[in-house]
């Protein structure tokens, strides 16, 4: 029987990756979020950290930024997520789904950056994480359905993921906000505060979740990410970039 925490190496082959990908979606839908994530917490891994992307890097366009908890994010409306809010120069920024669709209507690259971990007792408060995915975004008629991909054979695409428990779990998933919930499990938005984001029975990552969720840090609520499929972080800062 498959163990949903089992990690497989790159050389397991494409067929095994496809089978594993299918199984994890079933497992994700059948397990309560808090049970799934609490099972991951005891694991720890270490990374060789690459240099962060420069703000002035002309190869990338900034589409999301969070420097602190000054903006709630999770309770913004559909229209606000569609049109965007904040500024690139400020402490928070969301380009808007329309703008993001304009940049990613065809397959491109999405880069994620995260700094630190605010979880109680974390050993990763000063760590830096990054990951690069293939990405495209459909238009509003599909509720901005996203398509995420990851090249498991390439070791140079970041330290935040193996491609198992991350954004690729929500490949082919529409966007959800507090006033337009497309997730079959609405409590992911209303109770766990992980919207606005691409959600299907919650997620293994949400960079627009509540900065300080009322249900607490370290358990996969609000703004969080599961690093390398091993442990949960609540980043202090995040950025998302689209290849220009």
The reply to whether 6 falls in a domain is: no
Kindly state whether residue 88 falls inside one of the protein's structural domains.
yes
Q: Report how far residue 65's alpha carbon sits from residue 70's, in angstroms, rounded to the nearest whole number.
A: 12
Is 174 contained in some domain? yes
Q: 165: cis peptide before it, omega within 30°? A: no
Give the pLDDT score at 33. 52
Mean pLDDT by 10 residues, the chain (244 residues): 30 37 43 43 39 55 98 98 98 99 97 96 95 97 97 84 80 98 98 98 96 94 90 97 94
Looking at residue 28, what is its pLDDT?
43
Residue 62 lies in a domain: yes
Residue 237 lies in a domain: yes
In a domain, 150, yes or no: yes
Number of domain units in the chain: 1
Q: How confident is the model at residue 152, as a pLDDT?
A: 75
What CATH number did the domain enclosing 83 receive? 3.90.215.10
CA distance 126 to 105: 35
pLDDT at 229: 76
pLDDT for 164 equals 67
In a domain, 227, yes or no: yes
CA gap 201, 183 in Å, rounded: 6
pTM for this entry? 0.78
Identify the CA nearest to 187 among candidates 173, 201, 172, 171. Answer: 201
Lookup: tokens for 137 = 């975004």
Full domain range(s) for residue 86: 14-43+58-139+146-243
Within a domain: 5 = no
Residues 224 and 238: their CA atoms lie apart, in Å, by 10
């Amino acid at each position: 029987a498959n163990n949903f925490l089992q990690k497989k190496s790159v050389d397991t082959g494409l067929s095994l990756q496809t089978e594993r990908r299918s199984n994890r979606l079933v497992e994700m839908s059948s397990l309560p979020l808090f049970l799934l994530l609490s099972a991951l917490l005891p694991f720890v891994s270490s990374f060789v950290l690459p240099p962060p992307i420069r703000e002035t890097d002309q190869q990338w366009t900034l589409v999301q930024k969070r420097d602190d908890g000054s903006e709630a994010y999770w309770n913004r409306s559909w229209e606000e997520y569609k049109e965007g809010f904040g500024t690139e120069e400020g402490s928070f920024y969301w380009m808007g789904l329309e703008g993001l669709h304009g940049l990613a209507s065809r397959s491109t690259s999405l880069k994620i950056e995260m700094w630190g971990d605010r979880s109680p007792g974390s050993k990763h408060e000063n760590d830096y994480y990054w990951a690069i995915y293939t990405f495209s975004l459909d238009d509003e008629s599909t509720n901005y359905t996203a398509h995420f991909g990851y090249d498991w054979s390439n070791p140079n695409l970041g330290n935040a993921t193996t491609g198992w428990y991350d954004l690729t779990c929500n490949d082919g998933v529409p966007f959800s906000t507090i006033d337009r919930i497309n997730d079959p499990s609405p409590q992911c938005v209303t109770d766990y505060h992980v919207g606005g984001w691409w959600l299907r029975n919650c997620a293994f990552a949400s960079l627009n979740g509540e900065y300080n969720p009322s249900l607490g840090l370290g358990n996969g609520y609000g703004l969080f990410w599961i690093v390398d499929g091993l442990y949960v972080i609540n980043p202090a800062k995040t950025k998302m970039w689209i290849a220009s």
